[in-house]
Amino acid sequence: MEIYLIRHTSVAVEQGVCYGQKDVDLAATYPEELEAVKKNLDGVEFDKIYTSPLSRAKKLANDIYPDQAEEEKRLMELHFGDWEGKVWDEIKDPFLEKWMEDFVNLKCSNGESFVMLRDRVLEFWNELKAQDHNKVAVFTHGGVIRTIQAIEKNIKLEDSFNIATPAFGEVVVLNV
């Protein structure tokens, strides 16, 4: 099975803002980025299309494949809880420093840990691989794509940041 992992396009968020599951707008460059993603997917027909329910992924999926994408909550980005929408340098949570030392295992304040993200993504991934499809599209987020790559390459979560985050609008193809 060929699985196309497609990261959403650029967002209209200032550098340094924490926005995991916060629903944010797309950048003004969206029309050009949309055309680039369409070109990368030109001629590819999918048996199944999934999308994160966050608008930045869902809009891209629906603009390319109208009304074909199934929303899948497990494809959402890491939930940063109380820190969502705040500038990292301005977060006053005393737990932030401890979390930075072990973000893999510790949950953000009222959010998730990287292990929790991995567990929900792994559940989706195992269900997907058990299906009988030739080509599948997954419109999602950088953290989810990195997690899937770590799962497929059998890389520990602690080491998964050695995997480059896909660029906005990038398409990563895996054969599983």
Q: What is the pLDDT of residue 33?
A: 98
Rounded to the nearest integer, the mean pLDDT of the chain is 97
Q: Which residues pair with 87 in a beta bridge?
A: 17
Query: Quick one: average pLDDT of 88-97?
Result: 94
Total-model pTM: 0.96
Q: What is the pLDDT of residue 30?
A: 98
Q: What is the pLDDT of residue 132?
A: 96
The pLDDT confidence band at residue 34, using thresholds 50, 70 and 90, is very high
Q: How far apart are CA 94 and CA 91, in angstroms?
A: 9
Indicate the number of domains in the chain: 1
Give me the CATH number covering residue 130. Answer: 3.40.50.1240
Query: Quick one: average pLDDT of 23-52?
Result: 97
Q: What is the pLDDT of residue 29?
A: 98
| Domain extent at residue 6 | 2-175
The pLDDT confidence band at residue 55, using thresholds 50, 70 and 90, is very high
DSSP calls for the chain: -EEEEEE---BS--TTB--SSS--PBPTTHHHHHHHHHHHHTT---SEEEE-SSHHHHHHHHHHSTTTPEE-GGGSPP--GGGTTSBGGG---TTHHHHHH-TTTSPPTTS--HHHHHHHHHHHHHHHHTS--SEEEEEE-HHHHHHHHHHHTT--GGGGGGSPPPPTT-EEEEE-
Closest CA to 147 of 9, 52, 34, 14: 52
pLDDT digits (tens, 9 = 90+) for 107-138: 999 999 999 999 999 999 999 999 999 999 99
